[in-house]
């Protein structure tokens, strides 16, 4: 990814900034320019809640070769209090102990280093809250 794009996307990546359509109220993360529900172009930004609930998940035990060092790993869909849903990898957990309804939070993790530009890039991942 180019450094300019990384800088442009900083608010949503680092502050979990999402947007809400001013006309129909649909919520988006990452933010969009046009609402896919009503076509409106004005949004208000808000920060995602710190945690959501795991709606469903699947465990990948035979991954594509570039992810073989992470196997087994889980991919899940998290729903936040305000109805927005996201899909992401679930990390820092024993995949056999995951449960639907479990509380999870979004965290940024490094995913790759761009060697030619010296830029580290990150993505959000889900981290279960164990009590």
Instruction: State yes or no: residue 35 binds Zn ion (CB under 5 A).
Output: yes
Long-range contacts of 28-34 (CB under 8 A, 24+ apart): 28/84, 29/84, 29/86
CB-CB neighbours of 5 under 10 Å: 10
- Cβ proximity to Zn ion: between 32 and 117 the closer is 32
Q: Single out the residue of 38, 87, 100, 123 in contact with Zn ion (rule: CB under 5 A).
A: 38
| Contact of 55 with 85, CB cutoff 8 Å | yes
Interface segment toward Zn ion; rule CB under 5 A; list 32-40, 52-60, 70-78, 83-91: 32-40
What CA–CA distance (Å, rounded) separates 78 from 51?
Answer: 9
Q: Minimum distance between the CB of residue 41 and Zn ion, rounded to whole angstroms?
A: 9
Hey, which residues between 104 and 123 contact Zn ion (CB under 5 A)?
none
What CA–CA distance (Å, rounded) separates 6 from 112?
Answer: 13
Q: Within 13 Å and on the Cβ side, how many CA atoms surround 104?
A: 33
Contacts with Zn ion by CB under 5 A: the residue count is: 8
Site mask for Zn ion (CB under 5 A), range 44-73, x = bound = ------------------------------
Which residues are at the interface with Zn ion (CB under 5 A)?
21, 23-24, 26, 35, 37-38, 40
């Amino acid at each position: 990814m180019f450094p300019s794009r990384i800088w442009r996307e900083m608010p949503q990546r680092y502050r979990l900034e999402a947007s809400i359509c001013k006309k129909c109220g649909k919520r988006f993360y990452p933010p969009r320019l046009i609402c896919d529900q009503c076509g409106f172009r004005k949004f208000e930004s808000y920060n995602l809640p710190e945690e959501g609930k795991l709606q469903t998940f699947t465990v990948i035990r035979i991954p594509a070769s570039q992810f073989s060092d992470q196997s087994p790993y889980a991919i899940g869909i998290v729903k936040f209090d305000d109805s927005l849903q996201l899909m992401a990898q679930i990390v820092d957990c024993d995949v056999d102990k995951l449960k639907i309804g479990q509380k999870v939070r979004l965290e940024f993790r490094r995913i790759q280093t761009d060697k030619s530009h010296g830029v580290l890039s990150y993505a959000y991942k889900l981290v279960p809250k164990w009590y």
